[in-house]
A = this chain, B = another copy of it.
Amino acid sequence: MTDTLADHADRALRRGEPLVELIGVGKSYGPIRALRDVDLVAAAGEVTCVLGDNGAGKSTLIKIISGLHPHTAGTMRVDRVERSFGSPREALDLGIATVYQDLAVVPLMEVWRNFFLGSELVAGRYPLAGMRIREMRRIADQELRKMGIAVADINQPIGTLSGGQRQCVAIARAVYFGARVLILDEPTAALGVKQSGVVLKYIAAARDAGLAVVFITHNPQHAYLVGDHFVILKLGAAVLDARRGTVTLDELTTQMAGGDELAELARELDRR
């Protein structure tokens, strides 16, 4: 899998260089303020983990970076240039690829078509040029197999896949097309232990290939396995912003769960 990433990664990336910077970013949905005054840096060769309660604004944050919603306050810089994306296309064109929590797949379309949607391989530059279908099928199949997912038929509508299989397609797609920045919104949520492991390996490989990775997860263990930088959101605001080394896994877990509640839970549930 490292080959895929290495093949596609932008070779001009230098470790530590900030690719995406958010400064005081805020976002309101009408009367609802989902995000306020958040700072975040996604640097090349680093994994930034965003953690937080349900409804804390994590998805909102990454939707801003990936161009799905424009932000309503603060500034965003990509490659040190201030930007406000009008559409996800603009983000994609800057090499920012995203796995959305709600997946962004088209249920009635075949798996391989979903994989290449928006970035089809074509045989020529004229408008109705044929797609290189055979190649697209092969690549889609191959990338999925690398994640340990063998779908019965790469031509089946993606709506007939299991939840986890769909998740894998979305991840494989983002990894394949993420040239500079890779954003993942709870990629391991629907995945089993094995597939989660594969995804974590992907994240590590992307980091090693020099990409900037933004990784949203509810699992502090997962975050701690690969993260360089941890941001915890609470009610739309950042309550913790720490580099690896300045925070331990236990601290992270405690922060996320709201202090002692977790200890109590473990005690309560402990049956042994």
Contacts and interface: CB of A to CB of B under 8 A. Distances in A.
Interface in A178-221: 186, 189-197, 200-201, 204, 218, 220
A247 to B, nearest CB: 13
A226 interface: yes
A194 B29 contact: no
The quantity of this chain's copies bound in the complex is 2
Nearest to A226: B269
A53 interface: yes
Contacts of A29: 160
Contacts of A190: 54, 101, 186, 189, 218
Interface residues of A, number: 50
Nearest to A203: B269
A127 interface: no
Nearest to A32: B152
Given A29-B160, A59-B163, A152-B32, A53 B201 contact: no
Contacts of A238: none
B218 A196 contact: yes
Interface of A: 29, 32, 51-56, 59, 101-102, 149, 151-152, 160-165, 167-168, 186, 189-197, 200-201, 204, 218, 220, 225-226, 253, 256-258, 261-262, 265, 268-271
A269 B215 CA distance: 15
Contacts of A257: 192-194, 197
Query: Taking each of A149, A165, A196, which has the highest tally of chain B beta carbons within 10 Å of its own beta carbon?
Result: A196
A7 B162 CA distance: 35
B54 A193 contact: no
B101 A194 contact: no
12 contacts: A32-B152, A52-B192, A54-B167, A54-B192, A192-B256, A192-B257, A194-B256, A194-B258, A194-B262, A197-B257, A197-B261, A200-B269
A53 B192 contact: yes
